[in-house]
């Protein structure tokens, strides 16, 4: 079991907090990896509630890292996380995620990053990786959000901050409502990219996956739920 201390907490909106943590030992993570946080809330079987959270920050720093947590259930891990403050510690295992990451033989070229709902955290980890600038010379970022839900998860100004060090700077960022058929109706564009990273809802990812020619396009997915 590993431990990290909370150095700062930012309230993004009523249901979202960002946690800036520090670990004495190096975490040894790659951009796109996640950790499994152990809460102090016991289940009926005697075990504690656990939940995975993607590391959003750069893997250039192996001691300091960032998690963004949406309050889903006050009685489970997200509620436990939202109760924590500066100076508190968390217990976790990891990093986990052997395939949702960059590899040395990934080609340099054009990439597409798709996030659904809170899957944006895994995509941020990929984009903040030290390997990103060596692999990507152009990219698009699509974020699929619940219909008619304002101020969902990460506010625009905070997302801008999280992307401010991403290069190249002239990328296309588009938000789509979940009910929009646009992406599936125009899925032929997916095969114009060298690679696609997608994270979030499994049912949406599965629909996109059917349209991608994996013999020509690198496809990496991280399922959140």
The per-residue pLDDT for range 99-113, each reduced to its tens digit, is: 999 999 999 999 999
7 and 47 part of one domain: yes
Mean pLDDT for the chain overall: 94
Can you tell me the mean pLDDT for 129-158? 89
Q: What is the CATH number of the domain that holds 201?
A: 3.40.50.80
Can you tell me the mean pLDDT for 176-191? 91
DSSP 29-51: --TT-EEEEEEEEEPTTSPEEEE
200 and 136 part of one domain: yes
pLDDT of residue 3: 98
Task: Look at residue 198 and tell me whether its pLDDT is greater than 90.
Answer: yes
Residue 71: both structure tokens together:
């309050």
Task: Look at residue 167 and tell me whether its pLDDT is greater than 90.
Answer: no
Can you tell me the mean pLDDT for 115-137? 95
- For residue 102, tell me if it sits in a domain: no
Q: Does residue 67 or residue 224 have the better pLDDT? A: 67
Q: Which of 96, 118, 149 is the last residue of a domain?
A: 96
- pTM as predicted: 0.94
208 and 115 part of one domain: yes
pLDDT of residue 163: 87
90 and 113 part of one domain: no
pLDDT of residue 178: 92
- For residue 24, tell me if it sits in a domain: yes
Can you tell me the mean pLDDT for 68-85? 96
State the alpha helices, DSSP H only, in the chain: 77-82, 120-127, 132-135, 156-163, 182-185, 202-209
- For residue 203, tell me if it sits in a domain: yes
Closest CA to 142 of 205, 56, 66, 59: 205
133 and 200 part of one domain: yes
pLDDT of residue 176: 93
Phi/psi for 78 (5° steps) reads: -65, -35
136 and 204 part of one domain: yes
Distances 5 to 85, 87, 91, 92, 134 between C-alpha atoms, Å: 10, 6, 9, 11, 32
pLDDT tens per residue across span 7-59: 999 999 999 999 999 999 999 999 999 999 999 999 989 899 999 999 999 99
Of 32-36, 87-91, 174-178, the poorest mean pLDDT is in 174-178
What total number of domains does the chain contain? 2
Q: What is the CATH number of the domain that holds 20?
A: 2.40.30.10
CB 111 within 8 A of CB 143: no
124 and 187 part of one domain: yes
If one counts every other C-beta atom within 10 angstroms of the C-beta of residue 107, the result is: 10
24 and 122 part of one domain: no
Quick one: what percent of the chain has pLDDT higher than 90?
84
124 and 72 part of one domain: no
Q: What is the SS3 assignment for 113?
A: strand
48 and 142 part of one domain: no
Give the distance, in angstroms, between the CA of residue 7 and the centroid of all CA atoms in the same chain.
20
CA distance 142 to 87: 35
Domain that holds residue 20: 2-96
Can you tell me the mean pLDDT for 142-164? 86
């Amino acid at each position: 079991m590993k431990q990290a201390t909370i150095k700062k907490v930012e309230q993004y909106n009523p249901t979202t907090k960002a946690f800036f943590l520090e670990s004495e030992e190096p975490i040894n993570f790659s951009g796109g990896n996640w950790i499994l946080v152990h809460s102090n809330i016991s289940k009926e079987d005697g075990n504690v509630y656990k939940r995975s959270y993607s590391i959003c920050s750069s893997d250039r720093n192996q001691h300091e890292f960032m998690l963004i947590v949406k309050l889903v259930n006050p009685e489970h891990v997200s509620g436990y996380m939202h109760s924590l403050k500066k100076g508190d510690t968390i217990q976790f295992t990891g990093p986990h995620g052997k395939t949702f990451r960059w590899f040395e033989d990934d080609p340099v070229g054009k990439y597409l990053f798709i996030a659904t709902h809170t899957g944006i955290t895994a995509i941020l980890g990929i984009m903040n990786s030290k390997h990103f600038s060596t692999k990507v010379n152009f990219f698009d970022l699509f974020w699929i959000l619940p219909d008619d839900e304002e101020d969902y998860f990460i506010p625009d100004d905070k997302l801008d901050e999280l992307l401010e060090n991403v290069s190249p700077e002239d990328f296309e960022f588009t938000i789509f409502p979940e009910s929009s058929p646009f992406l599936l109706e125009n899925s032929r564009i997916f095969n114009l990219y060298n690679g696609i990273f997608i994270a979030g809802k499994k049912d949406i990812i599965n629909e996109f996956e059917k349209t991608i020619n994996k013999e020509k396009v690198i496809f990496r997915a991280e399922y959140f739920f």
